[in-house]
Amino acid sequence: MNAMGWALADGWTVMRRNLTHLRHSPGEMVGVLISPVIMIVIFGYIFGSAIPVPGGGNYREFLMPGLFAMGATAAVMVTIARVAADNGKGVMDRYRSMPMARSAVPFGHTGADLVVGAVGMAIMAIAGLIVGWRVHNGLWSTLAGFGVLLLFTYAFNWLGVLLGLLVRNEETADRLTPLFFPVTMLSNTFVPTEGMPSWLRTIAEWNPVSALVAACRQLFGNPGAPVSDVWPLTHPVAATILWSLLLLAVVVPLATHRYRIAGRR
Amino acid sequence: MVDSIVVAEGLHKRFGTTEALRSLDLRVTEGTVCGVLGPNGAGKTTAVRVLCTLLVPDQGSASIAGRDVVRDADGVRKLIGLAGQHAAVDEKLTGRENLVMFGRLYHLGERRAQARADELLERFDLTDAAGRLVRGYSGGMRRRLDLIASLITAPPVLFLDEPTTGLDPRSRNEIWSSVRELVAGGTTVVLTTQYLDEADRLADDIAVVDHGRVIASDSPERLKAVIGSRLDVVVSTVDDTPAAAAALARLTGNEPTVDGTTVSAAVHERAVSLLTAVREMDAAGVAAVDVALREPSLDEVFLALTGKPAEEEVAA
Ligand SMILES: Nc1ncnc2c1ncn2[C@@H]1O[C@H](COP(=O)(O)OP(=O)(O)OP(=O)(O)O)[C@@H](O)[C@H]1O
Ligand SMILES: [Mg+2]
């Protein structure tokens, strides 16, 4: 096998190791399994009773793409915590003293967290279907919607690896969590952007999360199509893919480099 | 001179204001055991981490079988095994899962990784615990698993950082016999320790490290000859100590020290044995309760080499 093949094989091995951790302590998965249900109840029933959907329509149909996007954004926190927790562990010393691919650990982390994210998304979808969310554009469009969500999740997992390597310990990682909340809120996730003050509206319209939410609404055929004419919102699918690839292109080399040099100074 | 497989020249490493290594030199001949002996904070772990490619030195160079630890880190990693002071295994996996995972990462292939894990677990008596999470292992079991993990590919050079610190005598003996077995198979071992008797039992050469530098390097026999063994005589009453001290001084030619009812002196000559000591005490009319010839402790080695006791270096 060539170097690339071995790098993939090593990444696969580390990914299986992370998934085995979860199998041994399923408690860590409880959050992933239950939070979608809590989100649907809080936003669908509590906020939803007071927020009108632009252009009319069922608020829970408007909401679901936003909740999916929120889950995708939360991927960054999942990964930061796991990477930071792994950092100080003795097993990292063994990895670094072995002739394995340096990219294997970050690839393994992001791969395993993508699987976790996909499971969370599936539960979210089932819960959504129960409360009346529906897709309207057929199989391919629906699959494309989930594909875009997973691509975005994966990019954010990588951002999580980089940040997790930078913060170095679990406590700091935990303290970063609230900072990511505004990233999802400052968008069209829960309320239409039309009512925002213009400067806030500009930020919200260019927020990659808005493009992701708009892409999902378009592909799933859910209400709330943006009335804005900024490019990311008139071409939300293309914009989301571009944002994700751009983030990956920046973060993957940085995170891999960071892992390579971590602890050596 | 035989070629050295491990070479370190003028290694410097500073952490903030702490100088962990200050021009450390080390040479280890292929197929031998080098004991790196030193007190807490001497720089043993730092030196091992540099040699294992985990740390980049600030100055100086090191190589394993001619491969530079900085420039050809991956080349070095193919040749070494490391069992660290803090067990480098995954707590959230079982013992067997750990070994299989490392086997896969060494590219043994699935079947061989599994077979090798089972073989090593069997050989090191961990088969019963193989299916349990490492989190629940005792310190000794973790160390053994860590040692096994470093043996998966039977590397030609093995680094053991204080492999027996904190272990009970039985686990310690097990580790010692495994090390001897490995050396018999041709492995070169670099072993750090705080115990002179451990270095004495296992090592062909001992490098004594203090404050980030090697202050003495020799075979255990010659090192001990320089320092000398100690002859301890315990008498029944304090009144007997002057006579015992005089007898010891005559016998060893060294100035004895008195501590309560224990009189002790350094011994440099092989001619002095327990038997001659007992006879000398008899002749002096001293009723000795106990006479013992013992190896010098690490403290005494330091005293002899540096003129001051081994002190723990405080982290800055
Ligand atoms: N990562 C680090 N950051 C800051 N200081 C460090 C670091 N690693 C080691 N030191 C310091 O460098 C010195 C040498 O440490 P080292 O761990 O090499 O000693 P040691 O001989 O292995 O000691 P011990 O017997 O306690 O294991 C100590 O003063 C230690 O506090
Ligand atoms: Mg140490």
Render pLDDT for A112-164 as a digit per residue (tens, 0 to 9): 999 999 999 999 999 999 988 999 999 999 999 999 999 999 999 999 999 99
At B313 the pLDDT is 47
CB B24 within 8 A of CB B213: yes
Pocket test for ligand 1, best of B46, B209, B215 (most atoms within 8 A of CB): B46
For A120, residues 6+ apart whose C-beta sits below 8 A from its C-beta are A32, A33, A35, A36, A71
Angle subtended at Cα B58 by Cα B56 and Cα B59, rounded to the nearest 5 degrees: 110
Ligand 1: centre distance to CA B186 (Å)? 30
Q: Does B89 touch chain A (CB under 8 A)?
A: yes
Task: Give B225 to chain A, closest Cα distance, Å.
Answer: 38
Within 8 A of A24 by CB-CB distance, chain B residues are 92-94, 133
Q: Label the pairing between strands B205-210 and B33-37.
A: parallel
At B307 the pLDDT is 66
Pocket test for ligand 1, best of B15, B82, B191 (most atoms within 8 A of CB): B15
- Rg of the Cα trace of chain A? 19
At B108 the pLDDT is 92
Question: Between A98, A263, A265, which is nearest B105 by CB?
Answer: A98
CA dist list (Å): B158 to B31, B79, B132, B179: 11, 8, 27, 10
**Dist CA B106 CA B110 (whole Å):** 11
At B253 the pLDDT is 82
At B114 the pLDDT is 96
At B258 the pLDDT is 87
CB B9 within 8 A of CB B58: no
Q: Do B93 and A6 touch (CB under 8 A)?
A: no
| A173: confidence class by pLDDT, cuts 50, 70, 90 | confident
A236-261 helix and A138-167 helix, angle to the nearest 10 degrees? 30
Q: Tell me the range of A49-58, A67-76, B59-68, B167-176 where mean pLDDT is highest.
A: B59-68
Starting from the CA of residue B161, give the closest ligand: 2
Nearest CA residue ID for atom 26, ligand 1: B40
| B308: confidence class by pLDDT, cuts 50, 70, 90 | low
Q: Where in chain B is the domain with CATH 3.40.50.300?
A: 4-224
Tokens at A202, concatenated? 């500009």
At B256 the pLDDT is 86
Indicate if the pLDDT at residue B316 is higher than 50.
Answer: no
Indicate if the pLDDT at residue A241 is higher than 60.
Answer: yes
Question: Between A6, A21, A95, which is nearest B107 by CB?
Answer: A6
Q: Is the CB of B44 under 6 A from ligand 1?
A: yes
Q: Is the CB of B236 under 6 A from ligand 1?
A: no
A140 alpha-carbon distance from chain centroid: 21
Helix (H, G, I), strand (E, B) or coil at A48: coil
At B311 the pLDDT is 57
Q: Looking at the CA of residue B194, tell me the nearest atom of ligand 1.
A: 25
> Which runs of consecutive H residues, i.e. helices, occur in B138-195?
139-149, 169-184
Starting from the CA of residue B195, give the closest ligand: 1
Ligand 1: centre distance to CA A94 (Å)? 18
User: Residue B189: beta bridge partners?
Assistant: B33, B158
Residue where the block lists tokens 């005494």: B300
Indicate if the pLDDT at residue B238 is higher than 80.
Answer: yes
The third-level CATH classification (topology) of the domain covering B229-294 is Alpha-Beta Plaits (3.30.70)
Q: Label the pairing between strands B67-68 and B205-210.
A: unpaired
Indicate if the pLDDT at residue B310 is higher than 70.
Answer: no
Name the residue type at position B53: T
At B65 the pLDDT is 95
Q: Where in chain B is the domain with CATH 3.30.70.100?
A: 229-294
Tokens at B305, concatenated? 């080499």
| A265: confidence class by pLDDT, cuts 50, 70, 90 | low
Nearest CA residue ID for atom 17, ligand 1: B45
For B113, residues 6+ apart whose C-beta sits below 8 A from its C-beta are B99, B100, B102, B103, B104, B106
**Dist CA A160 CA A76 (whole Å):** 4
Indicate if the pLDDT at residue A212 is higher than 80.
Answer: yes
Indicate if the pLDDT at residue A177 is higher than 80.
Answer: no
CB A54 within 8 A of CB A224: yes
User: Mean pLDDT score of chain B, rounded to an integer?
Assistant: 88
> Which runs of consecutive H residues, i.e. helices, occur in B207-253?
220-227, 241-252
Indicate if the pLDDT at residue A215 is higher than 80.
Answer: yes
At A248 the pLDDT is 96
Helix (H, G, I), strand (E, B) or coil at B86: coil
The domain B4-224 belongs to what CATH superfamily?
P-loop containing nucleotide triphosphate hydrolases (3.40.50.300)
- Least confident range from A58-72, A173-187, A219-233, B208-222: namely A173-187
Q: Do A93 and B106 touch (CB under 8 A)?
A: no
Within 8 A of A93 by CB-CB distance, chain B residues are 54, 82, 84, 86, 88
Angle subtended at Cα B287 by Cα B284 and Cα B290, rounded to the nearest 5 degrees: 115
Tokens at B54, concatenated? 């985990």
Q: Is the CB of B179 under 6 A from ligand 1?
A: no
Starting from the CA of residue B44, give the closest ligand: 1
**Dist CA A247 CA A250 (whole Å):** 5
Q: Looking at the CA of residue B212, tell me the nearest atom of ligand 1.
A: 14
Nearest CA residue ID for atom 22, ligand 1: B45
Tokens at A25, concatenated? 């302590």
Indicate if the pLDDT at residue A264 is higher than 80.
Answer: no
Q: The whole model's pTM is what?
A: 0.83
**Dist CA A60 CA A77 (whole Å):** 25
User: Mean pLDDT score of chain A, rounded to an integer?
Assistant: 88
Q: Residue A127: left (phi > 0), alpha (psi -120 to 50), or beta?
A: alpha
CA dist list (Å): B78 to A58, B30, B65: 61, 16, 11
Q: Tell me the range of A143-157, B116-130, B138-152, B255-269 where mean pLDDT is highest.
A: A143-157
Ligand 1: centre distance to CA B19 (Å)? 9
Render pLDDT for B156-212 as a digit per residue (tens, 0 to 9): 999 999 988 878 888 888 888 888 988 998 999 999 998 888 888 899 999 999 999
Tokens at B132, concatenated? 């349990």
B118 vs A179, residue with greater confidence: B118
ipTM of the complex: 0.86
Helix (H, G, I), strand (E, B) or coil at B213: strand
Q: Is the CB of B310 under 6 A from ligand 1?
A: no
Give the number of other CB atoms < 10 A from CB of residue B113: 20
**Mean pLDDT to the nearest integer, A167-193:** 80
**Dist CA B236 CA B238 (whole Å):** 7
**Mean pLDDT to the nearest integer, A195-217:** 90
Q: Do A91 and B88 touch (CB under 8 A)?
A: yes
At B145 the pLDDT is 92
Q: Is the CB of B193 under 6 A from ligand 1?
A: no
Q: Do A13 and B107 touch (CB under 8 A)?
A: no
Q: Do A264 and B55 touch (CB under 8 A)?
A: yes
CB B252 within 8 A of CB B246: no
Q: Does B62 touch chain A (CB under 8 A)?
A: no
Q: What are phi and psi of A65, to 5 degrees?
A: -55, -35
Task: Give A85 to chain B, closest Cα distance, Å.
Answer: 12
- Give the residue from chain A lying closest to B90, CA to CA: A91
At B139 the pLDDT is 85
**Dist CA B157 CA B65 (whole Å):** 9
Task: Give A265 to chain B, closest Cα distance, Å.
Answer: 6
At B26 the pLDDT is 96
**Mean pLDDT to the nearest integer, A171-192:** 80
At B211 the pLDDT is 92
B268 vs A132, residue with greater confidence: A132
At B91 the pLDDT is 92
Tokens at B267, concatenated? 């011994």
Task: Give B42 to chain A, closest Cα distance, Å.
Answer: 19
| B131: confidence class by pLDDT, cuts 50, 70, 90 | very high
Percent of chain B at pLDDT exceeding 90: 49
DSSP annotation string for B95-129: HHHHHHHHHHHTT--HHHHHHHHHHHHHHTT-GGG
| Interface A:B, Cβ pairs < 8 A | 74
**Dist CA A144 CA A154 (whole Å):** 15
A171 vs B11, residue with greater confidence: B11
Nearest CA residue ID for atom 24, ligand 1: B40
CB B2 within 8 A of CB B205: no
**Mean pLDDT to the nearest integer, B99-118:** 95
Ligand 2: centre distance to CA B313 (Å)? 12
| B314: confidence class by pLDDT, cuts 50, 70, 90 | very low
Q: Is the CB of B245 under 6 A from ligand 1?
A: no
> Which runs of consecutive H residues, i.e. helices, occur in chain A?
3-24, 30-39, 59-87, 90-96, 104-130, 138-167, 170-185, 198-206, 208-220, 231-234, 236-261
